[in-house]
Structure 1
Amino acid sequence: MQDDSRDCVELNTTNPKDLSHQTRDINQNGKQNERKGTHKDNNSAQNGGKQPSGSGINQLNIELGIAKTKKSPEPLQACTSLRTTNPTSNGIANSSLPEASEEDNTISCVRKCFQSSRTNHDCSEAEPEIIEVPERQSARIRRNAASGACRCYQAVRLGFLQCLEDTPFVVPGLVLIILFCVTIIVVIAARHLTGHVGPLAVVCVVLCLCVPLLVCLPCLPSLRRCEQMLALSIWFTLFITAIVFIFTDKVDTPWEQVAFFLFLSLSVYTILPLTVWWAMIFGIGASVCHIIIISVIVSVNHPRPRDVAVQLVANVVLFLCINCVGLFHLWLTENGRRKSTMSRETFSYNRSKRATQKRDQEHLLLSVLPRYIAMELKGEVVKGLSSTFTGAENKPNFHNLYVKQHKDVSILYADIVGFTSLASTCTPEELVVILNKLFGKFDDIAKKNECLRIKILGDCYYCVSGLPDPIPHHARNCVKMGLDMCTSINKLREATGVDISMRVGVHSGNVLCGVIGSLKWQYDVWSNDVTLANRMESGGVPGRVHITEETLGNLGGKYQVEEGNGASRDSALEGRKTYLVIDPNTQNSKDSKPKVNNLATNSRPKQRASVRMSQYLQSWKSINPFSELNRTEESIAVPISPTSDIGQSQEDTESANHQPYTYYQENRRSFVSENGSMQSLDPLDVSGTKTKKLNWLTLLFSDINMEKQYLQSEVNDMHQSAACLALIFTAIFTVQMLTSQKNTPLAISYGVTLPVQLLILLVISIGFLKKWNTKIPCCMKWISLPYGLITKSVLRLFLVFTCLLITLLMAILNIVFIPGDNCLSVSNSGTALDDLNLYSVPYYLYCCLMAMLGVVVFVRVCFSVKLFLLTLALVVYLALFLYVYAPRSDCYIMQLYNRSNTSGVLNEPKLMSGIWLCVFYIACLILARQDELACRVEFLLEKCFEKEREEMEMTENVNKLLLKNLLPCHVTNFFIGKNVPNQDLYSQSCESVCVMFASVPEFKEFYTEDSVNKDGLECLRFLNEIITDFDELLSKPKFNVIEKIKTIGTTYMAAAGLTNPTRGEERKDSDACKHNVRSMVDFAMALMGRLENINRHSFNNFKLRIGINHGPVIAGVIGAHKPQYDIWGNAVNVASRMDSTGILDKIQVTEETAHVAESIGFVVTKRGIVNVKGKGQLTTYFINTEPSLQHS
């Protein structure tokens, strides 16, 4: 016993309490056994972990499922899969709710272990457990069996559905062939016809080939890839079967196996994955083979050559008709597939191109604004466009304000001292390059020091640390950035000899940040602390960082400082203690004024300062604005592969050209969901919204509105279907005329129905004739009158239904004129029976088959209508051939087999009519369903494409509006949609540009930061109303030459004449100058009027102070990480001074601008000589605003 236990298991020491708890989880009914087992386990634990030689202990631990097998005998093999308990991890003891599979495995192991222990007669304590386990095991077996069966069913079902998607025609074709073979075998067996051993053997071979294929197709995807070879092999097998049927029959007739070859020819065009030419070769080849074989065999044995010739001509007509109908169906599906593929490729290309543009536009947006502001603005623009389209626009009383408050930030202002004199010596291109290099370098420094650049104002640069996310060491970041900026400028000065330096001011406090206005959004900050930081810069020292006491308190002793004495340089700092930061890397910090390197200056006396500056700045590796937007054309040309197989690659397109029915396969893909329903496509839909569904049985849209749209949609190819049906109708008429004995009743019946049929087909074809409406003579204009009626689905369905019903009726109507009702009375007279010409009976069957095929040619007719017509035709035809006109078939069989009833199965019209009617019925249903599915999927795709186009157009319009609010349109077009080299910068010299600065100086007193105004937020809301109203004026056509540049605090900056005039609008410089000045003065007066209107509604008395000047300017985009469009030049500086030195409610202009304004009809008043900073004494004028009403 002791050795046996060692050989079976090796037990691990485990906590007795955990073992007891685990025992209760396994079997709650065996509490007594648990207590006993725990007691025994405690005894083993007290023995130092050594296991005694007792079967009870072995049994206990095995029952708990903690046994670790070493070399277990056969009864314990089930225990080897159990999880080993680690005493350190105690995994089992901590698992209070074990999984069901683990519990079942444990119970199974326990039962087997008990059975093993019973052989040793040492498990009397576990007898109650042995009674419990089999019951639970049987329940588990039942659950596992049910679960396994369910999983097997789901796997087979999903595999079959996937097989239907991959091979939509092969599977129904195999099912149809199997049913046909089974039917032939059953008929032969039922009639006891031992003489048909050859056909029976061939049919059994075909059946043995098709059944394994049908079973293996869902399970073997590799077999489905060989679909073409598979379909061709099945077709050749059927072709050989038909040949065998011909040669094994006792009596040879011209109409023998015509239906079989009609089906073979039709399947070539509709089922086999062949191109048009190969399908024609196989289809016509099969028809020619039948005609040749029958002509050779029958002409030798048939006693009446005239009847043979007539029947062979009828066969030729039938084969020509079936090949034409099949070719029409193949051409129609190929044409639809080709159009679908082209539309998908075009849409995929356009979508990828628009996606690239969207990505560029979004990057452009995010490069100017922080993400949280950009997304909020974008959402508001989308909401505004949606409300405009739906007509539900509800304008609020106040415009939206995108401003938030941030506390504990540091603001840095930096100004390049001496840059104005340097800019005066630069060309426009040099100025833009120098500014971009300088501020691009500052952007890199800001990014490295966790600072966010706010704006560039001329040569002034200011940024904030602590936005948009809080940063604890914001003050250190700004001071470090200021020191790095000074170091960079010092190196630049020493290398080039250009006398420039950096003056930096830093202050810490709270800010309001965001955007105001509705045009030319720029991220900005407002607060009294921002104003103080600006004053710290103007009151600072060149080459030093000037900080306030608040900033010093946030440095934490990181830097050494000295007294700044800012009040001595700026009176606004009176009463404040300021400090100058000592650069740790500078040896002599007291030398505040940087020295110019005279050696560098004298070494290159012939070069201008701007040239030396440009050459040195080339060594700075800065990023050009919007460099990420530069892409080659190849990146756009690669289509994005959308979901649901909508996007087709070039390889897929080429392979699709060799598979005509791929049109169905591609459109049907991803329609069958896991629950078996027809899932609608969800193409190119990144948002995840699902379109409508198709009913898997009726193929109707689940959405009634979608179904109505489909039914009311215009059918462009109805004339083609009408022509094909006319061909079938003509073929039926020809065959009946050739094979009927009494043609007078036949001619009368067709004489009545043919005009009605042709009239209906003509009305159906009106849509085709409408295209040549302009070419139709006036006397024939009436022909297009029914066009409005044919677009109506109800009338169109009625006309098609009537036309098909007439065709189905005429296929069988004239069989009543075939003599044969008294064939039984003349059966004894051989001559009289031979004179009946009953060979026309099988040809009426073929006419019925062709008429049923005519239902399929109208691809846009609803499947339920086709199902009704085909079912009605099948029932009527079967009733007529099997019962009503069965005596004619019997008489014909008597005639063929010398008045004997021992006829062959394959040559009996009554019996074969039932088989072939059912075969063609099923085949027509398959084709009708596939056509309906293809049309509906194509319609659904068009709807999805239309929806996607609308969404993309909406996105494009949103991005255009956003970009319009960021940059001028001509600047945006420069960066987007063109292959711009990475090294190119946008810069433009503009002549005769009129610049305006309009400010609201009184707003400074209005702005207060208290709890009532939410720390200034409500004051900014009022400023936002003013700026937004100003922006709305720019939407008027009279101000289309004016571009808003930016807002600086309460100052509104705009310029006229920045865009290049288009053809037909080119003016001389003098005319352009006058036009720009007129537009700007009118705009300035409109601003004053709009502010007056705001004052009346808000009970305020704000006044504008406006300065205008004109002249040449330089426009460009600068900045690495936040590109910014701006203009520079003397005209800009003077216009700014005209504003700062102006008077409230006045428009101040320079003398040159006053002369231009006076020449175009404005009244000007001389103000006198004004001292302008940087320009000295200037004579200025006021434009009289009273007579301006005639211009507004």
Structure 2
Amino acid sequence: MKKVCSTHQFRNEQVEMLYQRYFLKMNQSNMTNLITLLLMICVVMLVISLTDFAMPRKLATNSTEVHATQYDKLLVLVCTSACCIAIYGILLNVVSRPAMNEVYLIIISYFILVTFVILEICISYYFDDKRPLLGSSFTLATTYLTYALMPNRLKDALLSGFILAVADLLLLVYVGTMSGIADVTSCFIILLCGNIAGVCTHYPREVAQRKAFLETRQCIEARLKIQRENQQQERLLLSVLPRHVAMEMKADIAGQPKQEQFHKIYIQKHENVSILFADICGFTTLSDQCTAEELVRILNELFARFDRLAAEHHCLRIKLLGDCYYCVSGLPEARPDHAHCTVEMGLDMIDAIALVREVMNVNVNMRVGIHTGRVHCGVLGLRKWQFDVWSNDVTLANYMESGGIPGRVHITKETLSCLGNDYVVEPGNGGERNSYLKDHNIDTYLIVAPSYRGDTSIPYHNHPMNGNIAKEMRIMGHGSQHGHSSKLGFGESTEREKNPEDEVNEYLMKAIDARSIDRLRIEHCRTLLLNFRDPVKEAKYLLEKDRMLTMYFYCSTFCFITVLLVQLVIFNRHDPALFYSTPIIFLLVLIPLLVYMNNIKKRRGFSTLFFVSRTIHKNRNVAQIFCFVMAACIYGLVMFRAYLMLLVMVSMIACAVYQILISLLKAIILLGGMAGFLAAYFIYIKNVDSIICLYRSSEHTFTHQYMNIVVLGGFVTALIIHGQQTEATYRLDFVWKLQATEEKEDMEHLEAYNRKLLANILPVHVAEHFLNSDKNNDELYHEQCDCVCIMFATIPNFSEFYVELESNNEGVECLRLLNEIIADFDELLSEEQFKYIEKIKSTGSTYMAASGLTQNTCDMHDYKHVTAMADYALRLKELLEEVNEHSFNHFRIRIGINVGPVVAGVIGARKPQYDIWGNAVNVASRMDSTGIPDKIQITKEVNQILHAKGYPTKCRGTINVKGKGSMETFFLEGPVKNRPNITLNPLASSFDDKSEEPMRTTLGTISEKN
């Protein structure tokens, strides 16, 4: 009881305020309906009283004094009704205003309570000797409506109910001349029942409303949380892939999978673009002077500056290839000044590296090559997507960089034609430095860097507006809209990050203000029945469990006990009617027990009863049938004439308390009860009352005859309105919660798509690090991996296969076949035996993978990650043979494998790219580039592991490896034949020896530079 009577309030004041605001319109509507109903009742009372004045007296009184007293009482009733009409009219005008708030509603409810007390006193005073229980009927009605339709707190409603009950009992004792102990006792029991029923109506309603509000808020909170995560994921996603590619991929992931002969290829063709390749000259010297971690940090900062410059100059960075940076201007959206953009980008890159040269005191420079033409852009494969471009023009741009001069921008004739006369150039003579340029007779030029590159004569408008910022600051990335470095492309917000709690509350407040109860009802519910227009939604609602169902049956049981007690107090105990009511009493005891059984532990022998109990709780239709039977049974117990109206009202309350009942069924029960009362009244009770009035020498006026009908009619109308409002509110709360849940589920699906895309861009553990970390945005992500197996696999003769002809869609069909090959390689990684392997990237026809990058995938005991890589390399050879068989080609694969320590990390602030660096990576690349087609070349360390595991290997001998000198290498001949059961530790000494060797990080591992 203490829990029920305690004040319901959220601890968070702002949440409580939002809750009150959430139900303000409903409370305002309830108050408007209640005041309108009270106004109509008072008008009817006034009309009846005035009619009584005008009617001639059919029964003369025996005394003039009695007649005068009766006239005075009638005058008091008329004046009170008129005053209440005026008060209710004013209150109705106030409560209908749109600027209403919770405080005003509570104040108005106090005014209404005062009028209740006044009307109660007036009615009791008028009917003191003729119908003393009519005042109790009015009190019972107003008491229950105080709980049901007023926006009071439960404590306030209890206090109001107590005051009304005490006032009625005092009036019954001191004003009612015909009231005995039985009458007072019966009225006490009935009014107690009215208050308890009111509590059982108010408490479940408020609990249900608060729970619905909280669940809705939690759904919104979860939705906003997922939305923030999705925004973070999308920023990361869009920092790696252009929007049009990312959105197309996401749509394909979200859509139904299609059975197609080939994997979908995400490639678009773009004409009139300029491609820039830039390589750091002297990078080897720089790497000798610092550790791998320091080198990664330097590259990260340098490439971050390049990314900011690319954004400023409208260039799209494509990829980082070790110490090589290349970007394109003119895609995904075409630009007429694409050549100007790339030239300005190249000049700024040269200026940026000059600052590094001065600070580090190392002879480093940038060699920049630019060509203008056509590209195919997109992604290949199924995993670790990286946006890339392909075409003969891209190849030419790459050779333009190779044949360039450090510190100069090297351009082709096609680029120069797009520049017009905006730049001073001089002959480039690229053919003297590069055989490809010489063989293809490419005319090249070198840009002469202007002394002042901000000349307005150049039609280039990409400089930041705050042009007074020093050039050094601009090329370092400051002073532009992209000037803030951030963790994986997450720029610092110009606004202060909102507190998630405040964001939820703000969102909820806007949603509440935009919420229209009438609009929602029209949109989702039918007018009369209130059932949902959508049958699926209706089915979901009917399966919604009402947690307060047990309390409803408890309350109706108490109403049944009240009816029984009152009739036992009044009835003759030997009356045969008590015998006839025994089956009804049995049903009224059985039904609540069935409902309660759901709350106790299941026992053997009662499985059927427990099944029925669970069904009542789980299915609203079944529950409503039992509610109907319960209410009808209580009606059937009402047999005593003098208390007919009071007991009928108690029965109506027993029906009204079932908030699970649909409003139409509830209205039928209530109107049926009123019809039964009217039939009994006009057939029997009215005539008996007339005789009683004659016996008491009192005047049976028009007012006396019809006032009870007015009170009961008003009460029934109020209960029907309450039923409609309650069901509408429950249904609309369900709709809002359903919408919030659906939005949350949609966001969860979107999150799943984003995470799936992210898993194809970054390794899962790396993506989780950035998405879940609250670390400094500028903090570099890197980790030392002690034993990683690295594989490079190249199809060296694919370049001969790739030609751009009209018959093959300018080379797209060649790329489609390459996509199939890479996709087949990627699909292999889904097999359980290759769970240790992580694809790093693919560039052109070269595929790079590594195993043992995490603690879970690095097996230092049995070296399973190394044997998995060996098996994977062998499977790649088999796959390519199958491709050759089906495509009638003769592709050959060249594979190199090494094992050793590496540094794994992410570089590029605005466009993050995961990669691994270290001497072991460099050697693995050399194993590929110095290998033989259709052979798998491995180092001595890998051979020690595989040979001990039973793999057949063959010594190739000593070969000369660029940067390493002479190395003894081996060929992996095939899969393991007889796997020996031995414990390995062959690399301990090898790794220990190499740990003292300075780790040179050669990042240009995929594309070898001449």
TM over 0.5: yes
Question: Which residue of structure 2 lines up, in the alignment, with residue 583 of structure 1?
Answer: 448
Q: Tell me, which stretches of 5 or more residues in structure 2 are unaligned? A: 1-22, 54-69, 453-474, 981-1010
Give the SS at the match of 2:830.
coil
Contact 1:344 1:646 in 2 (8 A): no
Alignment of 1:198-209 (within 5 A): 198-209=76-87
Q: Percent identity?
A: 35
Matched, 1:262 2:140: yes
Q: Deviation string for 1:761-795 (max 9, x for gaps)? A: 322334334xx33xxx5466664232454344554
Compared with structure 1, are the counterparts of its residues 350 and 889 closer, same or farther at alpha carbon in structure 2 (3 Å cutoff)? same
Compared with structure 1, are the counterparts of its residues 873 and 1125 closer, same or farther at alpha carbon in structure 2 (3 Å cutoff)? same
Q: Name which of 851, 866, 890 aligns with 2:666.
A: 866
Q: In structure 1, how many angstroms separate the alpha carbons of the residues matched to 2:858 and 2:914?
A: 24
Q: Name which of 537, 547, 556 aligns with 1:725.
A: 556
Give the SS at the match of 2:809.
coil
Matched, 1:412 2:238: no
Question: Which residue of structure 1 lines up, in the alignment, with residue 646 of structure 2?
Answer: 846
Alignment of 1:316-327 (within 5 A): 316-327=188-199
Question: Which residue of structure 2 lines up, in the alignment, with residue 46 of structure 1?
Answer: none
Q: Cα distance, 1:988 vs. partner?
A: 1.2
Counterpart residue identity of residue 1091, structure 1: L
Matched, 1:342 2:207: no
Task: Give the CA RMSD over aligned residues.
Answer: 3.0
Question: Which residue of structure 2 lines up, in the alignment, with residue 998 of structure 1?
Answer: 793
Q: Deviation string for 1:632-673 (max 9, x for gaps)? A: 98543333468786867xxxxxxxxxxxxxxxxx9x951313
Q: In structure 1, how many angstroms separate the alpha carbons of the residues matched to 2:508 and 2:337?
A: 51
Matched, 1:1096 2:885: yes
Q: In structure 2, how many angstroms separate the alpha carbons of the residues matched to 1:468 and 1:859?
A: 59
Question: Which residue of structure 2 lines up, in the alignment, with residue 911 of structure 1?
Answer: 706
Matched, 1:1181 2:970: yes
Q: In structure 2, how many angstroms separate the alpha carbons of the residues matched to 1:223 and 1:1131?
A: 72
Q: In structure 1, how many angstroms separate the alpha carbons of the residues matched to 2:730 and 2:597?
A: 21
Compared with structure 1, are the counterparts of its residues 561 and 919 closer, same or farther at alpha carbon in structure 2 (3 Å cutoff)? closer
Q: Which moved more, 1:197-206 or 1:497-506?
A: 497-506
Matched, 1:1107 2:902: no
Question: Which residue of structure 2 lines up, in the alignment, with residue 14 of structure 1?
Answer: none
Compared with structure 1, are the counterparts of its residues 1086 and 999 closer, same or farther at alpha carbon in structure 2 (3 Å cutoff)? same
Give the SS at the match of 1:540.
coil
Q: Which moved more, 1:967-976 or 1:881-890?
A: 881-890
Question: Which residue of structure 1 lines up, in the alignment, with residue 521 of structure 2?
Answer: 678
Question: Which residue of structure 2 lines up, in the alignment, with residue 517 of structure 1?
Answer: 381
Q: Name which of 160, 163, 181 aligns with 1:282.
A: 160
Q: Cα distance, 1:905 vs. partner?
A: 6.0
Compared with structure 1, are the counterparts of its residues 256 and 574 closer, same or farther at alpha carbon in structure 2 (3 Å cutoff)? closer
Contact 1:217 1:224 in 2 (8 A): no
Compared with structure 1, are the counterparts of its residues 743 and 221 closer, same or farther at alpha carbon in structure 2 (3 Å cutoff)? farther
Contact 1:520 1:964 in 2 (8 A): yes
Question: Which residue of structure 2 lines up, in the alignment, with residue 765 of structure 1?
Answer: 596
Q: Cα distance, 1:238 vs. partner?
A: 2.5
Q: In structure 1, how many angstroms separate the alpha carbons of the residues matched to 2:387 and 2:977?
A: 35
Give the SS at the match of 2:490.
helix
Q: Cα distance, 1:217 vs. partner?
A: 4.5
Q: In structure 2, how many angstroms separate the alpha carbons of the residues matched to 1:1011 and 1:172?
A: 77
Compared with structure 1, are the counterparts of its residues 1012 and 223 closer, same or farther at alpha carbon in structure 2 (3 Å cutoff)? closer
Matched, 1:628 2:490: yes
Q: Name which of 611, 621, 625 aligns with 1:785.
A: 611
Q: Which protein, 1 or 2, shows the higher relative CO under an 8 Å CA cutoff with sep ≥ 6?
A: 2
Compared with structure 1, are the counterparts of its residues 877 and 1097 closer, same or farther at alpha carbon in structure 2 (3 Å cutoff)? farther
Counterpart residue identity of residue 632, structure 2: L
Q: Cα distance, 1:877 vs. partner?
A: 1.3
Contact 2:239 2:489 in 1 (8 A): no
Q: In structure 1, how many angstroms separate the alpha carbons of the residues matched to 2:690 and 2:837?
A: 97
Alignment of 1:295-694 (within 5 A): 295-298=173-176, 301=177, 308-383=180-255, 387=256, 393-575=257-439, 576-581=441-446, 583-584=448-449, 623-626=485-488, 628=490, 635-640=499-504, 669-673=515-519, 678-680=521-523, 693-694=524-525
Q: Cα distance, 1:993 vs. partner?
A: 1.0
* Alignment size in residue pairs: 912
Q: In structure 2, how many angstroms separate the alpha carbons of the residues matched to 1:798 and 1:1109?
A: 76
Contact 2:383 2:760 in 1 (8 A): yes
Q: In structure 2, how many angstroms separate the alpha carbons of the residues matched to 1:163 and 1:876?
A: 37
Q: Cα distance, 1:216 vs. partner?
A: 5.7
Q: Cα distance, 1:287 vs. partner?
A: 0.6
Q: In structure 2, how many angstroms separate the alpha carbons of the residues matched to 1:983 and 1:572?
A: 41
Counterpart residue identity of residue 1153, structure 1: V
Q: In structure 2, how many angstroms separate the alpha carbons of the residues matched to 1:886 and 1:269?
A: 32
Give the SS at the match of 2:39.
helix
Contact 2:874 2:975 in 1 (8 A): no
Q: Cα distance, 1:925 vs. partner?
A: 0.4
Matched, 1:226 2:104: yes
Question: Which residue of structure 1 lines up, in the alignment, with residue 172 of structure 2?
Answer: 294
Q: Cα distance, 1:1019 vs. partner?
A: 1.0
Q: Name which of 711, 720, 724 aligns with 2:542.
A: 711
Counterpart residue identity of residue 234, structure 1: I
Q: In structure 1, how many angstroms separate the alpha carbons of the residues matched to 2:694 and 2:835?
A: 97
Q: Cα distance, 1:847 vs. partner?
A: 0.4
Q: Deviation string for 1:938-986 (max 9, x for gaps)? A: 3323322332222111111011111112211122122213322123111
Give the SS at the match of 1:998.
strand
Q: In structure 2, how many angstroms separate the alpha carbons of the residues matched to 1:635 and 1:208?
A: 49
Contact 1:878 1:913 in 2 (8 A): no
Q: Name which of 609, 619, 633 aligns with 1:806.
A: 633
Q: Cα distance, 1:1075 vs. partner?
A: 2.2
Give the SS at the match of 1:410.
strand
Give the SS at the match of 2:895.
strand
Question: Which residue of structure 1 lines up, in the alignment, with residue 9 of structure 2?
Answer: none
Matched, 1:948 2:755: no
Q: Which moved more, 1:914-923 or 1:469-478?
A: 469-478
Alignment of 1:188-207 (within 5 A): 188-192=49-53, 194-195=71-72, 196-207=74-85
Q: Which moved more, 1:1176-1185 or 1:1007-1016?
A: 1176-1185
Q: In structure 1, how many angstroms separate the alpha carbons of the residues matched to 2:79 and 2:819?
A: 92
Q: Deviation string for 1:1123-1174 (max 9, x for gaps)? A: 2111111111111111112122221111111111222232211112222222
Give the SS at the match of 2:368.
strand
Q: Cα distance, 1:987 vs. partner?
A: 1.2
Q: Tell me, which stretches of 5 or more residues in structure 1 are unaligned? A: 1-161, 388-392, 588-615, 649-665, 681-692, 816-840
Counterpart residue identity of residue 810, structure 1: L
Contact 2:486 2:492 in 1 (8 A): no
Q: In structure 2, how many angstroms separate the alpha carbons of the residues matched to 1:1056 and 1:740?
A: 91
Q: Name which of 18, 35, 43 aligns with 1:174.
A: 35
Q: In structure 1, how many angstroms separate the alpha carbons of the residues matched to 2:140 and 2:619?
A: 36
Q: In structure 2, how many angstroms separate the alpha carbons of the residues matched to 1:406 and 1:323?
A: 78
Q: In structure 2, how many angstroms separate the alpha carbons of the residues matched to 1:558 and 1:915?
A: 95
Question: Which residue of structure 1 lines up, in the alignment, with residue 716 of structure 2?
Answer: 921
The structure with the larger Rg is 1
Matched, 1:740 2:571: yes
Give the SS at the match of 2:369.
strand
Q: Cα distance, 1:629 vs. partner?
A: 6.0
Give the SS at the match of 2:899.
strand
Compared with structure 1, are the counterparts of its residues 359 and 1007 closer, same or farther at alpha carbon in structure 2 (3 Å cutoff)? same
Contact 1:428 1:988 in 2 (8 A): no
Give the SS at the match of 2:233.
helix
Counterpart residue identity of residue 700, structure 1: N
Give the SS at the match of 1:499.
coil
Q: Which moved more, 1:955-964 or 1:435-444?
A: 435-444
Question: Which residue of structure 1 lines up, in the alignment, with residue 59 of structure 2?
Answer: none
